[in-house]
Structure 1
Amino acid sequence: MDVRSLRYAVTLADTLHFGRAAQVHYIAAQPFGRRIQALEREVGAPLFARTSRRVALTPAGERFLPRARQVLAQLDALLAPAEGRSDDPGVLRIGVLGFGLADLWPHVRELVGARLPELVVTTVELDWEGQYDAVRSGEVDLALTHDVGGADDLVLDRVLEVDRYAVVPVRSDLAAAERLTAADVDGRRWICPVGDAPGLSEWGDRSGRRDSVDVRSPSGVPTAVATSGRLGLHAEPARRFFPHPDVRYVPMEGPGATVSVASRPGDGREAVAVFRAAARAAAAVDLPDRNRSGP
């Protein structure tokens, strides 16, 4: 979902006239209307009721527009010039676990680049065991983490809640399942994510065996499943970020995964604040509660 379409929708809600709303944005009425239709398809519901004489908000539009206004206000505040802006914002080191921000990456890059065009962003690949310590030690300025607890001493901005998926060998009898339950996988052998956070075992360690296959990072899960023949757990974006010809991702019941931006308390540097705000804003722009569990 792009910001321009949100602005178009807000203007149309204010004017309730396609022609006048299009003029505000210096665009012809037909392409303006197509952008509104594309937004409605992404939301999954009509936002505006059209007749030959009038335009009105639908119930879905009544729910959607207040949140859209709030998101745009947050974006405008983020992009507004700040007093005392540094001419040399320097380098921002971001630790990334797995797919990090997943589909939010393009939005965050755009927002951070607009606010701090001279900022150099570097990334460091993290594993489950060191995702929080990398922030504590100063190895990275921020980390995109699998939020499984054990980081009460850090500042955590929750930006993504993604569905739980089982990773199964493509030749497994489970590979054709539409969705899996705990009963479906009872007694199966699993790979084991390795990390110190107390919630990681609760979330993803179903091995219950001493001969488990250990995996230290989300990117290693598909290969571990393919080579061991065991099952693994992951989150929905892994289907796109970590495809593997020998595994299949199957929706599974149970708690999803939370992705949080972790930073050190009291770190008031502009680059850190801008990235945190951009991640929150990009998450908010992802307005419709789209079901990403589809094929």
Structure 2
Amino acid sequence: MDVQALRYAVTLAETLHFGRAARAHYIAAQPFGRRIQALERELGTPLFARTSRRVALTPAGERFLPRARQVLAELDGLVEQVDAPREVPGVLRIGVLGFGLADLWPDVRDLVEARHPDLTVDTVELTWADQYDAVRAGEVDLALVHDVGGADDLTLDRVLTTDRVAVVPVHSEFARADRLTASDVTGQRLVSPVGASAGLAEWGEGAGRGGRVTVRSPAGVATAVATSGRLGLHAEPARRFFPHPGVRYVPMDGPPATVAVASRPGDRRAAVTVFRAAARAVARLDRNRIEP
């Protein structure tokens, strides 16, 4: 859900005039209108009825806008309630494992930039072996990690939960399945995550004949599967963020995959606190997706 488009829609509902609504957001009328149209396409229904002389809310718009206002108020409130000092933010170093926040990235970035427009964000690629240690050692200010346990000494804000998928060679028998279970892959040779704790280690068992095929980060799973003919495990967004012609992503039963924002306990710096609040707020919006 595009948070900025929600704001545009609320303003348009108040003014019922594209030009005035666009000016209120310091944007030209045409790109403003395109964002409204994109929101309507995403929702699958028109929110506004347009004629050459007037703009009016549709019945779907009448139902949608009050809920949009409520969600935006909650979203803004979560960030504004942050009790952080107003020091110059400087640089925020974010460690990222795999796809990070996936589709939530743009909205989190917009909220953080609105609060701290001068903040510089540096990203550092992490592996399963160092996703927690990079935070502990201060190599990054916070990290977007796969929450697989073993980090009781860190603060974890769980912001994204997705279904798991099996990563299978495109020419294997599993590629034709609509869904797989753990029993379906029992006895199969598997790609092994290096450095993963208990939450992923069980998937790496069974090296068996032919040695061991290891991967250090989520980005390497698809290539390892395609080249080795073994199976891998991933979270659902991987099909979009790590496409590969040699594999197919098949829905699989089992516990969901969870992405969390990891930070050091007691770290109350403004940039860290605002990023955490923005991620929680956008996650809340995504879980409570507004439908017309």
Partner of 2:206 in structure 1? Answer: 208
In 1, distance between residues paired with 2:101 and 2:287? 16
Q: Matches of residues 215-294 of structure 1 in structure 2 within 5 Å? A: 215-286=215-286
Asked if the contact 1:166/1:251 (under 8 Å) is kept, the reply is: yes
Q: Structure 1's 242 and 20: CA in aligned 2 closer, same or farther, altered over 3 A?
A: closer
| TM-score, scaled to structure 1 | 0.78
Partner of 2:134 in structure 1? Answer: 134
Asked if the contact 2:187/2:206 (under 8 Å) is kept, the reply is: no
Partner of 1:293 in structure 2? Answer: none
Asked if the contact 1:221/1:232 (under 8 Å) is kept, the reply is: yes
In 1, distance between residues paired with 2:274 and 2:149? 24
1:34-93 Cα distance to aligned partner (Å, 9 max, x none): 86665354246x59799xxx96866x9869954751344323663699885223x22111
| TM-score, scaled to structure 2 | 0.79
2:149 partner SS: coil
Asked if the contact 1:191/1:231 (under 8 Å) is kept, the reply is: yes
1:262 partner SS: strand
Partner of 2:21 in structure 1? Answer: 25
In 2, distance between residues paired with 1:124 and 1:161? 22
Q: Percent identity?
A: 62
Asked if the contact 2:142/2:261 (under 8 Å) is kept, the reply is: yes
Asked if the contact 1:43/1:288 (under 8 Å) is kept, the reply is: no
Q: How far did 1:22 drift?
A: 6.0
Amino acid at match of 2:205: S
2:159 partner SS: strand
In 2, distance between residues paired with 1:186 and 1:9? 51
Partner of 1:86 in structure 2? Answer: 87
Q: How far did 1:100 drift?
A: 0.8
Amino acid at match of 2:76: L
1:117 partner SS: coil
Q: Structure 1's 169 and 289: CA in aligned 2 closer, same or farther, altered over 3 A?
A: farther
1:157 partner SS: strand
Partner of 1:98 in structure 2? Answer: 98
Q: Does 1:166 align with 2:162?
A: no
CA RMSD of aligned residues (A): 3.6
1:218-248 Cα distance to aligned partner (Å, 9 max, x none): 1111111111110001111112221222112
Structure 1 residues not aligned, in runs of 5+? 291-295
1:201-221 Cα distance to aligned partner (Å, 9 max, x none): 24xx15334544222211111
Partner of 1:114 in structure 2? Answer: 114
Asked if the contact 2:75/2:282 (under 8 Å) is kept, the reply is: no
1:234 partner SS: strand
In 2, distance between residues paired with 1:92 and 1:129? 22
Q: Structure 1's 243 and 34: CA in aligned 2 closer, same or farther, altered over 3 A?
A: closer
1:180 partner SS: coil
Partner of 2:52 in structure 1? Answer: none
Q: Structure 1's 219 and 196: CA in aligned 2 closer, same or farther, altered over 3 A?
A: closer
Amino acid at match of 1:208: G
Amino acid at match of 1:123: T
In 1, distance between residues paired with 2:120 and 2:4? 26
1:261 partner SS: strand
Q: Structure 1 stretch 184-193 or stretch 138-147: which is displaced more?
A: 184-193
Amino acid at match of 2:230: R
